[in-house]
Amino acid sequence: MSAFRVHGKGRVNHGRKVGFRFDGTPFEGLEGDTVASALLAHGVHLMGRSFKYHRPRGPVTAGSEEPNALIETRRGIDRSEGRVEPNTRATMAELREGLEAVSQNRWPSLGFDVGAVNDGFHKLLPAGFYYKTFMWPKSFWDKVYEPFIRAAAGLGRSPDAPDPDSYASRYLHTDVLVVGGGPAGLAAARAAAEAGLRVTLVDESSEIGGSLLSEPDVVIDGTPAWDWLAGEVAALAALGVKLMPRTTAIGYYHQNMIGLVERVTDHLAEPDPALPRERLWRVRARQVVLAQGALEKPLIFDGNDRPGVMLAGSAQTYLNRYGVRVGQTAVVVTSHDSAWSAAFDLAAVGTSIAAIVDTRAELREDLLGRAHALGIEVLRGHTVTGTAGRLRVSAITVNPVQSGAVGAGRNIACDCVLMSGGWTPTLHLFSHTQGKLEWDEEGKTFLPFETREDCQIAGAGRGLWGIEAALADGSAMGARAAEALGARVLARSHAVERDRTGSGVAKKELPTLKDLTSTRAFVDFQNDVTAKDLRLAVREGMRSIEHVKRYTTNGMATDQGKMSNINGLIIAADALGKPAPQVGLTTFRPPYTPTSFGALCGYHRGDHFDLTRKTPIDPWAEAQGAVFEPVGQWRRARYFPKPGEDMDTAVARECLTTRSAVGMFDASTLGKIEIVGPDAAAFLERMYTNPWSKLAPDRCRYGLLLGEDGFIRDDGVIARLAQDRFHVTTTTGGAARVLAMMEDYLQTEWPHLKVWLTSVTEQWATIALNGPKARALLEPFVEGLDLTPEAFPHMANGTCTVAGFPARLWRVSFTGELGFEINVPARHGRELWEILWQAGQAHGVCAYGTETMHVLRAEKGYIIVGQDTDGTVTPQDAGLGWAIGKAKPDFVGKRSLSRPDMLVESRKQLVGLLTEDHSKLEEGAQIVLDPSQPIPMKMVGHVTSSYHSQALGRPIALALVEGGFGRMGDLVHVPMEDRTLAARITGTVFLDPAGDRLKM
Amino acid sequence: MLLITCPYCQETLPEAEFVYAGEAHIARPEDPSQVSDEAWRDFLFIRTNPKGPHFERWRHLHGCGRFFNAVRDTVSDRFLTTYKAGEPKPDLATLTGEAK
Amino acid sequence: MTVVPHELVAGVLSETPDLSVSLMPLRGRFSLRLMPEGTDPAGEVLGFRLPTRIGARQAAGSREVVCLGPDEWLVVCDDADRAVIEQGVATLAASVPHALVDLSDRELTVMVSGSRATELLTLGWPRDPQSVAVGTARRTVFDGVTVVIWRDGETQWRLDVWRSFAPHVLDLLLTGCRELAAG
């Protein structure tokens, strides 16, 4: 069965078989496998097709940097469409019972793919071909090019059902965060924890250990590596270190804020449904130790992407961690010593090493001796000029290179090629900090240099090689982090036997005999970018590495160029004839690895997506079948339909009932600010346009608030409760903004005023009663206040009890009818509402919502800030000049009202509109003076409010029109899609201009 | 997410508790009616928008509620200092010297 | 799934051996604002010294107070005590400029306690819980909502939340209870 499994080898559980399917075929793997390792154990390398050319591809790595082996998985027990996860890296996907994996980017099958014709036409699809090809003819874009690109583009397939899983998030505060659980990270965590600090250690793998998991033969302080690792992990746990495997540090943000994504359930066959699938951690660390290790680079040669060709270090991981031989006969191609140890490890389990091909002429004697002892042929100073095989490598062509000249080739049969172009530190998180890099000429790579963050880099992440060095450096950096936090600890060192240190050279693409245009030497495997593409980009004038990147898409795939950036840089620098450090590296951006939207949303989806504020009376409205609308963060009842009513009929009934009997309205959402202190009136004088000093303590007044720019910001009724106490109301949506604006002026402009502001929006539930029968309904419940018109006239306020509840009662109206607003403590709102509702039945009461409120106020020409104003409307423009205290020396916005552009007569002014044919206008419709003028017409304003008025038996509208006050009686025109409506300009008060109904 | 020191609470806290409130040290004229149109325009609309240290206002909205002033480097996004409203403008040379 | 009660009735909403979330009965609550020179006379009226460090608390009998800002205190008391406090503070009027505003109906209080209470708060609280010492309180932000968080014990917390924000906050807390119970 598993022909390539090495019994007894690796950290997988050989006693626990796990069944899964790949492209419908059942397979068996072992507990501890990834999808990639389990398939490789069956000799399956072909796992996907490439993005652009649909070339057959297999895993080239064993980790999160994998560019090729991208598969679609279905999670959970039900494997429903919403649990489809495209672009899962097979090298990271942990095996679990019943896992369903499907290959991507192929049709009809992985073995035979129609899209692979692109590969035959690769000469027609060079770098930048999208920019060049699809420019002409223009008409081809919609019909030909775009459909073709859409069909061919994209990795994987997006699921089209909602994700049924939940996602979570946490904040975490820690003294030291260590990123990476390899030897350097383990040692750093140990040092910091021994200093008594709160330490968190994260690793993206399913197990803590990093490179130690692939190096079982190493002996640390006399203990075999894996025993040492188990002891060390236990010691860290005992020291209180928070150990987080399966957790990827995705981004390094300002001031040591690190984003982590923890994979909670993907590896479980039957997860508890209460568990989130993933959890985003927002970590604030006082010190960060980056111990992310290094990534192996591929060598660039023709056919380096054939399934079976992989990184030597990854082959070693498959063998030592997963107990899988990646092939029967291997050729090792390298420019670095590390690949030699992969060859020796594989040879030890019976894989035939056909040859070790090293690009270097000078080689280490001990390596040569070992190869000789194992009977492995060594070809030094050689290059690779090609590979063969359709869906799997079957042979490799190697050629000697002497004095720069490539000699005759020789074919070597093999079923896998293990390559190594050396190692490059994982710089991504360090780069997120805007940290500076320095070029290491010897290693031909960038190393971290300095960063503004409180951050240490340890081990291979800063170019150190070997486990002993990583342990020592990790311990030193952990101690340094502890010291920076004022803790003292001694760094440790460890004696390591059978450590594998080594060195190598960095290469551009390997020399070849072939015509360069016919070679397919891949640099970026995921985006199918070849060395030839990079050189073409430079030839075509790209000078900056950022331009080369965008023109070729090198490093722009979901792997963020983990394998390709340095190779791309070396080749581009060569083509430009400049040293690499002068060309520089492109920017790494978060996230480090692809991150699900679910993890980023966390709890904020579905009902918890955003806040929905509800009033105490809301449950009653819901029970009555109200239709709601959002207003700011609140949900408000819009209308209360009776059975069979649509909005128009319900609103017409509500309007009629309120004008003829009495209507009840939940006004609890209005913003309320209590302004208290000896300077309360003086403060209001400065904030609002109106005068306040002489307002009596039992009266209300309409207040108008401007910005300093002179434009209307908010309005509302303000009641003076006592000499030093005002109850201010604001618009529903403006409450927080108005309070913030008042606090700003009070704290920073007039700090000497003895006055304090408190939001009481939610302290009070507010019930508005409007209509000719409002007093008759209310009066029997009121104690402590005489409601007769003489004793309690329009704009009076008083304190009393209503149905026994303490109340602030106002006589105000936003409908033009006799009106009262009853403020009671929020806990009593619902009860009072129901009492009044019951009593109101005898008066023919109705409940009305925001839609009816809008109609009733429009009939009276009362504006709604934000609907009839838009941030460019002055009090004069809105016809509210009367609300300005003319004698006041100053108030917020006063100076702006005399700026020259505020005084011109052609400003847009708020007027009424009545259509000639009684059509209802569309809100937002544009207004023109001459409907027969050529298009584009000159627009002179727009409709701000438009309703059918039940009281007038016709539609009415409000509009902002240039010079509107001077056009009373004029006809204007509103062009619509199918016709042009004529409307006459009128005043804004359509009903009861004398206000008699208010005074009842 | 930045860390911000509230000069009233004397605590360094996550940015989520704060809101930005525009450039600092732009005082409202004592008597706006005496200010020319040009000067009033500048007061309303003209801001420095520097690359580097910026005097700006923040409010500890989800906290003590106070507006306060800060100097933040717009390149590095680091706060050089924060101080209470009404306190004098700190000397920039001293601040940037300290930061180095 | 636990549904956040629309009517917000006081009682236990979730309880396990290591974590419980309850909605508390309403109490009397006032915002008290005054200048620094007013703290001593106001304290005399209230029966304790007004703390002046932001976050610091004082208590006397069933009354307690926390300093929320340089000129701002939150006073919590029994319902029956409200009139007493109002009358007492009113005697200050002439000599000490101040503002006393009744907020007894503005906020609801959620109690979170148990060995995993602090962990539960990390679901929505950007601040380090360790920065709030036992016996202190802070106005802060939880899942985007302004709250006053009181730390009554090592693992005992109280959250004061505006009435209309309470369902949102409770929804996250109860989601968190289920999540923590699962693992």
Asked whether the beta carbons of A290 and A398 are under 8 A apart, the reply is no
Closest chain A residue to the Cα of C164, Cα to Cα: A613
Is the peptide bond between A108 and the residue preceding it cis, with omega within 30 degrees of 0?
yes
**pLDDT on residue A470:** 97
Same domain, C71 and C41: yes
- A827 close contact with C: CB closer than 8 A: yes
Is residue A566 classed as helix, strand or coil in its secondary structure? Answer: helix
- A128 close contact with C: CB closer than 8 A: no
| pLDDT beyond 50 at C1 | no
**pLDDT on residue A514:** 84
| pLDDT beyond 90 at A557 | no
Give the closest of C123, C129, C181 to A274, CB-based.
C181
Q: Which residue has the higher pLDDT, A442 or A528?
A: A528
**CA–CA separation, A481 vs A191, rounded Å?**
9
Same domain, C144 and C156: yes
Beta-strand relationship, A352-358 and A378-380: parallel
Q: Is C139 part of a structural domain of the chain?
A: yes
Site from B36, B77, B80 to mutate, A interface, most A CB atoms within 10 angstroms:
B77
**pLDDT tens sequence across A869-922:** 999 999 999 999 999 999 999 999 999 999 999 999 999 999 999 999 999 999
| pLDDT beyond 60 at A152 | no
**pLDDT on residue B100:** 46
Site from A279, A281, A758 to mutate, C interface, most C CB atoms within 10 angstroms:
A758
Same domain, C86 and C136: no
Same domain, C132 and C92: no
| pLDDT beyond 50 at A995 | yes
B85 to chain C nearest CA, in Å? 13
Closest chain A residue to the Cα of B31, Cα to Cα: A890
- C69 close contact with B: CB closer than 8 A: yes
Asked whether the beta carbons of A851 and A651 are under 8 A apart, the reply is yes
Only one residue has tokens 């006799």, namely A818
Q: Which strand (E) or helix (H) includes residue A477?
A: helix A467-484
**CA–CA separation, A267 vs A271, rounded Å?**
9
Residues B66, C70: C-beta atoms closer than 8 Å: yes
State the average pLDDT over residues A64-71.
94
At residue C95 the predicted structure's pLDDT band, cuts being 50, 70 and 90, is confident
B3 to chain C nearest CA, in Å? 10
State the average pLDDT over residues A166-193.
98
Q: Can you tell me the ipTM of this complex?
A: 0.97
At residue C3 the predicted structure's pLDDT band, cuts being 50, 70 and 90, is very low
Q: What is the CATH number of the domain that holds C19?
A: 3.30.1360.120
At residue A260 the predicted structure's pLDDT band, cuts being 50, 70 and 90, is very high
| pLDDT beyond 50 at C30 | yes
Same domain, C91 and C153: no
| pLDDT beyond 70 at C41 | yes
**pLDDT tens sequence across B35-92:** 999 999 999 999 999 999 999 999 999 999 999 999 999 998 999 999 999 999 999 9
State the average pLDDT over residues B12-19.
98
Comparing C-alpha atoms, which of A982, A710, A988, A716 is closest to residue A868?
A: A988
**pLDDT tens sequence across A367-409:** 999 999 999 999 999 999 999 998 999 999 999 999 989 999 9
Is residue A575 classed as helix, strand or coil in its secondary structure? Answer: helix
- A272 close contact with C: CB closer than 8 A: yes
Q: Is C3 part of a structural domain of the chain?
A: no
Same domain, C95 and C143: no
At residue C23 the predicted structure's pLDDT band, cuts being 50, 70 and 90, is very high
A680 to chain C nearest CA, in Å? 10
Provide, rounded to the nearest whole percent, the portion of chain A with pLDDT above 70: 96
Same domain, C110 and C168: yes
Q: Is C2 part of a structural domain of the chain?
A: no
Residues A756, C144: C-beta atoms closer than 8 Å: no
- C36 close contact with B: CB closer than 8 A: no
In sequence order, the 6+-apart residues with CB closer than 8 A to the CB of A507 are A299, A300, A335, A359, A421, A570
Supply the mean pLDDT for chain C: 94
Q: Is C172 part of a structural domain of the chain?
A: yes
**pLDDT tens sequence across A508-532:** 999 999 887 788 999 999 989 999 9
Three-state SS string over A91-147 comes to CCCECCCCEEEEECCCCECCCCEHHHHHHHCHHHCCCCHHHHHCCCCCCHHHHHHHH
Q: Can you list the pairs that A432-439 forms with residues at least 24 positions away whose Cβ atoms lie under 8 Å?
A: A432/A251, A432/A252, A432/A253, A432/A588, A432/A589, A432/A590, A433/A252, A434/B76, A437/A585, A438/A581, A439/A580, A439/A581
Same domain, C48 and C137: no
Of C41, C73, C102, which one is at a domain's C-terminal end?
C102
Provide, rounded to the nearest whole percent, the portion of chain C with pLDDT above 90: 91
Q: Is C36 part of a structural domain of the chain?
A: yes
| pLDDT beyond 70 at A410 | yes
Q: Is C74 part of a structural domain of the chain?
A: yes
Q: Where are the alpha helices (DSSP H) in A275-327?
A: 312-320
pTM, entire model = 0.94
State the average pLDDT over residues A159-168.
94
* DSSP-based helix, strand, coil % in chain A, nearest 5: 25, 30, 45
Residues B86, A452: C-beta atoms closer than 8 Å: no
| pLDDT beyond 70 at A135 | no
Interface of A with B (CB under 8 A): 253-255, 257, 282, 284, 434, 452, 708-709, 740, 743-744, 747-749, 751, 889-890, 894-896, 899-900
Supply the mean pLDDT for chain A: 94
Same domain, C144 and C90: no
Same domain, C113 and C87: no
Same domain, C113 and C174: yes
**CA–CA separation, A461 vs A454, rounded Å?**
16
Closest chain A residue to the Cα of B19, Cα to Cα: A740
Q: Is C155 part of a structural domain of the chain?
A: yes
Q: Which residue has the higher pLDDT, A143 or A504?
A: A504
Q: What is the CATH number of the domain that holds C41?
A: 3.30.70.1520
At residue A448 the predicted structure's pLDDT band, cuts being 50, 70 and 90, is very high
Asked whether the beta carbons of A241 and A46 are under 8 A apart, the reply is no
Closest chain A residue to the Cα of B59, Cα to Cα: A744
Provide, rounded to the nearest whole percent, the portion of chain A with pLDDT above 90: 86
At residue A240 the predicted structure's pLDDT band, cuts being 50, 70 and 90, is very high
Of C58, C86, C102, which one is at a domain's C-terminal end?
C102
Cα-Cα-Cα-Cα dihedral of A349, A353, A357, A360, to 10°? 40
Q: Which residues pair with A405 in a beta bridge?
A: A402
Determine the structural domain holding residue C18 and report its residue range.
11-26+106-182
**pLDDT on residue A558:** 86
Give the closest of A171, A756, A827 to C126, CB-based.
A171
**pLDDT tens sequence across A470-500:** 999 999 999 999 999 999 998 999 999 999 8
Distances (CA, A) of C168 to A615, A672, C126: 14, 21, 17
At residue A53 the predicted structure's pLDDT band, cuts being 50, 70 and 90, is confident
Beta-strand relationship, C19-23 and A445-450: unpaired
Comparing C-alpha atoms, which of B51, B56, B47 is closest to residue B81?
A: B56
| pLDDT beyond 70 at B98 | no
Locate A795 and state its tokens: 């704009």
The total number of structural domains that make up chain C: 2
B98 to chain C nearest CA, in Å? 27
CATH numbers and ranges of domains, chain A = 1-160 (3.10.20.440), 167-294+425-497 (3.50.50.60), 298-421 (3.50.50.60), 514-591 (1.10.10.1100), 648-856 (3.30.1360.120), 904-999 (2.40.30.110)
Of C74, C102, C130, which one is at a domain's C-terminal end?
C102
State the average pLDDT over residues A668-695.
97
Locate B33 and state its tokens: 């009616």
At residue A131 the predicted structure's pLDDT band, cuts being 50, 70 and 90, is low
Same domain, C17 and C58: no
A178-187, A427-436, A908-917: least confidently modelled range: A427-436
| pLDDT beyond 70 at A124 | no
